[in-house]
Amino acid sequence: MVTLMDFWTLMAVYILILLSLTNLLLKPVLLAKRMTGKALKKLIRVQVPENQKKSLERLYTPVWLIIGIWAFFKLKEATLLGAVFGLLAFRSGANITRLIVYSSHDAKVLRGMAEGRVLKVLERIVRLSLLFESAFPVALILAYKTLSAITLQTGSAGKFLLELWVAGALFGLLFSYIIARNNKGLLLEDSVDALIFIVAVRGKQKTEKAKEITRRKLKFKAP
């Protein structure tokens, strides 16, 4: 007979599977959009503000990956479910705070462009991204009681995972602040829709400027 605790744990597993599959399916889409954005930038030849600290930002993935793998092997013998959560907990916390800081920074960079319409595009992307990222802590909450019943040398598995998520959130906050500070470029690489929109708008602005110059020349030459 399935108990209430087993039911919520099962729900947590389903959310984890759905989260992982969605993330896997989104990778090709995001890659295609990024390539489209780059192609448009080259085609229209418009300079879009780029991240000025790309080399430093490359450290983000190795950090969460190393900590995630460490957590996975720490929990693997006690609970396989906890090990999977451990692999993703630090990353989940870091991603949420990083997304909040990056979106706030990019909004400041984009403010004034395209009469504010680009901010609506960015806002929609960030809202969807936050909704996607929040699926992990929801799954962790559902499985928390089950994982808390599993003991480790340093306490329960649930407590360890919660601490790992909080540590990730603090790391993401600090890391994103360092990247965003005095950075005049756009930081959200997945916000390709915003980039494409900027490129299109700036191309339109150049066209309108050229038309205005031509109109003035014609007016000047007119008798």
Q: What is the pLDDT of residues 183-221, one digit of tens each?
A: 888 787 655 555 555 555 555 556 666 666 666 655 555
pLDDT per residue as tens digits for the range 108-153: 877 766 555 666 767 777 777 788 888 888 888 877 777 777 777 7
Closest CA to 171 of 64, 73, 54: 64
Distance from C-alpha of 174 to C-alpha of 167, rounded to nearest angstrom: 11
Q: Look at strands 155-156 and 151-152 and give their pairing.
A: antiparallel
Distance CA 178, CA 213 (A): 43
